[in-house]
């Protein structure tokens, strides 16, 4: 009996070692996390706050869907200049309401560069930069940088990059203190071309000359100037003869 109790701790130790060293078959190892998906521009701006108006325009124009799709399919990345709510408040009253739906799309696209730019890359870039609107001369955008100071110039606005909202080497979102307005959005449409003047009808070759009698549709006879003078002289001669 004493021998059994003396070996019990040793047996108990081996049982515990066996239980903890044997892998549990019912549990499979956790899968490795997959690569993160593309950044969502709306989610980034909502997390940063103070971009309510810009978010609303991104949604109503559906530009946000376009940008998210572009991020998932392109390796060039995107750069977004995001005006704050205070920047939109400083606009002249009625500015946004004066724009058509297409012009609002162009306004938002004007705030997006179709490639990724870090702050340091702005120091060596060539102006004007191509935006999502394109390189149209009606929408010029120039960006200059000195150190961490980045300035943006359009043909209507001088703005400053106040902060980096988000960057991941694929998407860069920068806070700007003004809404980037291009003059092309507010330029009056070109005047419509003047209507062509009707051509003058050429005189018919069969038209009567001044020396021939002209007959109108009423049946009266119009005498030429020479015939009228001849008849006047005849009347005068006959009058003198009668007297």
Output the domain CATH number for residue 112. 2.30.180.10
The model's pTM is 0.65
In total, how many domains does the chain have? 1
Q: Residue 33 — pLDDT band, cuts 50, 70, 90?
A: very low
Which one has a higher pLDDT value, 239 or 53? Answer: 53
Residue-level pLDDT at 31: 45
Q: What angle do CA 135, 140, 142 make, to 5 degrees?
A: 110
Q: Is residue 176 part of a domain?
A: yes
In a domain, 132, yes or no: yes
Examine residue 31 and state whether it is found in any structural domain, yes or no: no
- Assess if residue 208 is contained within a domain: no
pLDDT at 180 over 80: yes
122-150 as b/e: b if 16+ CB within 10 A: beeeeebbebbbeeeeebbbebebeeeeb
Inside any domain, residue 24 = no
> Which residues constitute the domain of residue 160?
41-185
Q: pLDDT tens across 84-100, in order?
A: 999 999 999 999 999 99
120 belongs to a structural domain: yes
pLDDT digits (tens, 9 = 90+) for 218-234: 554 555 565 556 666 66
Q: Is residue 26 part of a domain?
A: no
* Average pLDDT of span 158-163: 96
48 occurs within a structural domain:
yes
Give 38's pLDDT tier (boundaries 50, 70, 90). low
């Amino acid at each position: 009996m004493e021998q059994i109790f003396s070996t019990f701790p040793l047996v108990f130790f081996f049982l515990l070692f066996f239980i903890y060293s044997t892998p549990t078959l019912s549990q499979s190892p956790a899968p490795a996390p997959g690569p993160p998906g593309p950044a969502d521009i709306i989610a980034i701006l909502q997390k940063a706050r103070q971009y309510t108006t810009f978010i609303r325009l991104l949604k109503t124009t559906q530009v946000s869907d376009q940008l998210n799709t572009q991020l998932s399919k392109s390796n060039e990345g995107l750069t977004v200049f995001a005006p704050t709510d205070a920047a939109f408040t400083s606009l002249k009253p009625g500015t946004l309401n004066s724009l058509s739906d297409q012009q609002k799309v162009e306004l938002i696209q004007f705030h997006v560069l179709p490639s990724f730019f870090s702050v340091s890359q702005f120091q060596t870039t060539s102006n004007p930069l191509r935006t999502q609107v394109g390189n149209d001369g009606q929408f010029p955008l120039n960006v200059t940088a000195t150190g961490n100071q980045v300035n943006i110039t359009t043909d209507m606005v001088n703005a400053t990059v106040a902060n980096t909202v988000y960057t991941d080497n694929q998407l860069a979102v920068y806070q700007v203190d003004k809404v980037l307005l291009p003059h092309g959005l507010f330029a009056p449409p070109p005047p419509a071309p003047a209507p062509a003047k009707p051509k003058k009808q050429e005189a018919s070759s069969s038209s009567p000359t001044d020396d021939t009698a002209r007959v109108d549709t009423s049946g009266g006879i119009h005498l030429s100037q020479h015939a009228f003078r001849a008849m006047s002289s005849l009347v005068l001669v006959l009058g003198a003869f009668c007297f």
